[in-house]
Structure 1
């Protein structure tokens, strides 16, 4: 099992919360530890949001619990009904699952006792829970700050390399269908994980104006990189779907198809290498000057094949269309990278 930064930060936050609670003499320091465990977030922006959200949840959770205990008591049925009411209120306010859980803990922490010293108990529970939330926020900022940009680019580079490798194998009829089917499921899961990482990266805030514009440009480029990788995966799925039909068409079209796809793959690889700074910059020959696929030629060849033999009935035209969409996304990525490299020297 891999020990991630978030797991370590959770342990540190719980430790800090318990130490501080014991140091200042708060009873039931366990509640501070529980709150700290729930409050750890994957980035600083979400952690900042969570501080206020969870403190608000504590306030109305404890307030409702106090009001219910004073009016109806703390019978188990009453506690259960109050819990349902607090959950409904949290959902109405669109709070996340961790915040809802912490609000429920606040309710139970207050309602477990009788009304003897209820207000004092509520204040102590609120202090303990708030201490845990604040401890988690501080730990989130100071320990193991997330490097989502580095992680995101490496993940995109890795997954794209896998897809392009499978595309090369598939076009030459060397792929094993059961193996490829399993890989397609894995690649889908990896792309979904990339989307999550991109969301976390785009949420990060830059407060220095000098760094804000490059960050905004990078967000746009990353978005297009992901879109282009998704198109390459869709192209791989299409080749997998038409694998048996490709064997039946004339060799003339097969050769053109392989050649044009090789050009697209080469273009995609060059763009990633350029983003990493592994390709020498040349202002007279920007990143746009790469091997250019001739997709219209591919479509014309396909149409001529069908004109000579109508039995194919344009069944492979969607494959050519998929390649055109893939190539269009690569062109767009070229423009974005060239624009970024024109104004910023820093690579990804």
Structure 2
């Protein structure tokens, strides 16, 4: 996509517990929020299940390339030493794997690889960025060939990555030490580091018009705002257990998936406050905003559903069943692509679910 096009990218979230292979623990007191709105009556009448196709085992996140019209996905299986991981290239029409690329081996003795988890694409430079959570790093791959181009260390428990094409920047969240780290997408050099003591940065989004990065703080029930030129980050309260973040096209609002509360919070970024809280389902995990319609889609991991929200009305307008444990949402061209961890493929593969955002 052209750098002159305003593109609000978000990387919604894979649970930290899943990436770490352990139990998710939330810390920090919840901020006060406005009264919760009841879900729209239509939300109680589930729609037909999403179209689904098996991909590979260990799916985590996905990112759509408009330049190449492909969906990239990450997969990693098991606990350390992880020996099975892949960067997968998927045809969004057929939902079939076009190609699969193995990360580099990091330990010859055990066969451990630089396993990939979080992901975003940089169409300006035709690359894919991943987080290598267990290796405390991020990596860059070629979209054209799948070749591993670089590994960039120094992001403790690297969780998500989001690319700001307009400003040649990739932001990564360091859940392990409360940091947001920015890299130059041309040189791969670190260009900025923002630290909030005690924070647990998880989901990421960036406003490409302003260059401002946002992260959910899973530990503090807040959003971390890192604006260009700001001497210190701004902290904005949101719902309980915020683990994923999305921005609409205008960048004035943030939507957080509140895992502990099972809700989506609509946050006014100018006022710095929650204006609406929408119940969606147990285990709210990942959120995305459709730039065309403004519809917000959220994956409810425990409930095994995706909720489609009208943010202006603050209501769920449709609930769609998915495979078990939906883990991440990517919206492209009016379609939501949801990777799950159902293991229901013929060889135990996880699924890609496809849902039309509008109908």
Q: Tell me whether the two structures share a fold, i.e. TM-score over 0.5.
A: no
Q: TM-score, normalised by structure 2?
A: 0.18
- Which structure has greater strand proportion? 2
Q: Which has the higher helix share?
A: 1
